[in-house]
Amino acid sequence: MIKKICLVTLLGFGSLAIANEARDIAQGVYDRDDGKTIIQDMKMILIDKNSNQRIREIKTFGKDFGKDDYRIMFFKSPADVKDTAFLTYDYDDASKDDDQWLYLPALKKVKRIPTSDKSSSFMGSDFSYYDMTKRSVDDYTYKILKHTKVRGHDTTMLESLPVNEDVIEESGYVKTIGLVREDIDMVVRSIGFMKNGDRKYLDITKMHKQNGVWVVDEMVMTTKQGKATVHKTILQFENIQVNKPINDDVFSTRRLEKGL
């Protein structure tokens, strides 16, 4: 009996150590150096199930404010979305909801994105408003599923489960499986299991290192129902500048209305 109790205890500590290791990997992803600032041109390519494409040109700026992360996007073309702008305040404090605003030029109005809408599509893409922010580590529990390779690099397959229904309602995800590149703490592929039964497949297809920081050149998000592709979004980044000074006043709702 004593041996059995000891074995159970050891197994318990072993499970705890594995759980801690999984959380440490998630924390490493969250803490990864992605630059103090970033400026880039983004091309958003929207592809429907019939392979029809729509292309949107966007200028984006990002800056760290202490532990918080602010980002702003200005749509440059086509005409039907030109001058639309989007601002995110991504707070490090997990108890504080991130703030997001969208400026719609047709209405000449800045709209605040409520928490209840954050799982909805961002500008017709396969990314949601929630996807435009960093996930709080404390909002999920983690489990290492296995180690494998992606494009020749060692990765850890990490399962993330929301800690409660509030996180599911805000994110739209009931589970996520991510592949984290072990040498750079970066998620390079993931599958998001949606509460409506759809799955979203993310693939970082191109990246490079600039000024010591790994940045993404291209990523693809594909939404599927079963094996059928519903929609796909390709994001391509050019003219990337890392750690170049940006004035703080760029990241304001007033600037949303003013534009580039």
Mean pLDDT of the chain: 93
Give the model confidence (pLDDT) of 233-259 as tens digits.
999 999 999 999 999 999 999 999 999
> Rounded to whole angstroms, how far apart are CA atoms 137 and 142?
9
Architecture of domain 16-258: Clam (2.50)
pLDDT at 247: 97
- Grouping H, G, I as helix, E, B as strand and the rest as coil, residue 84 is coil
Q: In terms of pLDDT, which residue wins out, 18 or 12?
A: 18
Give the model confidence (pLDDT) of 126-173 as tens digits.
999 999 999 999 999 999 999 999 999 999 999 999 999 999 999 999
pTM over 0.85: yes
Beta pairing, strands 186-194 & 140-150: unpaired
Nearest Cα residue to 60 out of 46, 75, 72, 48 = 72
- With 0-12 / 13-18 / 19 or more C-beta atoms within 10 angstroms meaning exposed / middle / buried, residue 115 is middle
> Rounded to whole angstroms, how far apart are CA atoms 250 and 1?
67
Nearest Cα residue to 172 out of 216, 214, 138, 132 = 132
> Rounded to whole angstroms, how far apart are CA atoms 143 and 28?
14
Give the model confidence (pLDDT) of 196-231 as tens digits.
999 999 999 999 999 899 999 999 999 999 999 999
- Grouping H, G, I as helix, E, B as strand and the rest as coil, residue 68 is strand
Amino acid residing at 158:
L
- Grouping H, G, I as helix, E, B as strand and the rest as coil, residue 60 is strand
pLDDT at 14: 59
Secondary structure letter of residue 117 according to DSSP: G
Beta pairing, strands 37-48 & 228-242: antiparallel
Beta pairing, strands 99-104 & 173-181: unpaired
> Rounded to whole angstroms, how far apart are CA atoms 109 and 96?
25
pLDDT at 15: 64
Tokens at residue 34, please?
């992605």
> Rounded to whole angstroms, how far apart are CA atoms 130 and 245?
27
pLDDT at 94: 81
Give the model confidence (pLDDT) of 36-82 as tens digits.
999 999 999 999 999 999 999 999 999 999 999 999 999 999 999 99
Residue 7 above 60 pLDDT?
no
Confidence of residue 260 (pLDDT cuts 50, 70, 90): confident
Tokens at residue 233, please?
């979004």
